[in-house]
Amino acid sequence: MRLNAIVFCIAAPVLIAAPPKEKVDKPGSQDHALFTRMPGFIIDRYKTSDFDREEFTVKNVKKDEKRAVEGKKTFIDYKLSKGANMPSPVEVVRNHVQAIKKVGGEVMWEKQGGTAVTLRLKKGSAETWAYIYAYGGCKSYNVAVVEKGQMEQKISSSAILDALNKDGFIALDIHFDTAKATIKADSTAQVDEIASLLKANSKLKLSVEGHTDNTGTPEGNRKLSDERAKAVKAALVAKGIEAGRLQSKGFGQDKPVADNRTEEGRAKNRRVELVKL
C-alpha cells in the first residue's frame, strides 16, 4: 500500500522593514520668540549663550560694513524634512522680513538675490539684531539673533586695589541710563565693591572721574560726565564713605582711550575712572 506523504509547511515569519525614523528637533532646542519657522523644517543645530558677539552686515552709503553687536545670542540652523515642500531662499527671507516689520523692526541690509538679510528691532532701550541666511537651494537656513546688552561687570575690591597700587587708576564700565546720571541696577554690585575697598583701606582717597564718547556736544558731554562722576561719589557716600575722601570731576570727550569712529571704540570711551590721590 502506498501512503501519500503528508507535507507540513511551516510559514516563515515575514519581516516588514520599519519606516525610517522621522527626524525631530535637536534636544533642548526651540524657535526664537521673534520668528516662526518655515513649514517642513526641523532644528538641526542650536546654540545659545548669555553673552556673545556677532558681526552683522549693514548697508552704508559708500559700501557695506560690519556692525559688531554684543549680548544674548541664539543660533539656529534649520534643515528641510524629507518629503517636505522646499521654499525658495527669497520666500524664507521675505517671511522673516515681514515678521520683523509687523512688530516695528527694519531691514538694515539685504544680499543681492535675496538669500540673506540683516534685521533690527528697537523697542525703547531694548535692541535686537537678526541675520537670516538661506542656502543649499533652501534645503537649509539659519537664524542668528543677538539681544543687545552689556555684560555685568564686577571687578573685585582686591583687583581694584591692585590696579590702583600698580597704575594709580582703574577704568570701570559703570552703566547709566541713556543721557542721564542715574546708575543702572546692574552696576550697583560694582559700586558695592568700591565701597568695600574704601572701608577696608581707611587711608585711601579717590578721585571719581567721568568720561564720554564724542556723541553730542563737547559742553553737553562734559556736563553729563561730571554729573555721572558726582552720582558715583554720592552712591559711595550713601554707603558710609566719608565725602572728604572722595573727589569727582567730568572730562567729557576730551580723553578718549579708543577710536570714536567705531561703536566698540565709543563704548570703551564711556567710562568711569577711579584715580588714587
Read off the C-alpha cell for 13.
515569519
What's the predicted TM-score (pTM) here?
A: 0.54
Tens digits of residue pLDDT in 6-25 = 444 444 555 555 555 567 99
Distance CA(220)–CA(243), nearest Å, equals 26
pLDDT of residue 63: 84
Distance CA(68)–CA(268), nearest Å, equals 14
Instruction: Calculate mean pLDDT across residues 49-73.
Output: 89
| Closest C-alpha to 232, from 243, 220, 218 | 243
Tens digits of residue pLDDT in 253-272 = 999 999 998 877 888 899 99
Q: How many CB atoms lie within 10 A of CB 108?
A: 17
Q: How many CB atoms lie within 10 A of CB 263?
A: 12
158-161-165 Cα angle (round to 5): 140
CA 80 to chain centre: 28
215-219-224 Cα angle (round to 5): 70
Q: Per-domain residue ranges for the chain?
A: 41-148, 157-276
Under 8 Å between Cβ of 26 and 44 = yes
212-213-219 Cα angle (round to 5): 65
| Region of poorest pLDDT, from 226-235, 236-245, 254-263 | 254-263
Q: Which residues pair with 131 in a beta bridge?
A: 118, 144
Tens digits of residue pLDDT in 81-136 = 999 999 999 999 999 999 999 999 999 999 999 999 999 999 877 899 999 999 98
Architecture of the 157-276 domain: 2-Layer Sandwich (3.30)
pLDDT of residue 9: 42
Read off the C-alpha cell for 50.
548669555
**Which sign does the torsion angle of CA 196, 201, 206, 209 carry?**
negative
- For 41-148, CATH number out of 3.30.310, 3.10.620, 3.40.50, 3.20.20 equals 3.30.310
Q: How many CB atoms lie within 10 A of CB 100?
A: 20
| Region of poorest pLDDT, from 6-20, 47-61, 123-137, 156-170 | 6-20
| Region of poorest pLDDT, from 203-207, 222-226, 256-260 | 256-260
Read off the C-alpha cell for 133.
541666511
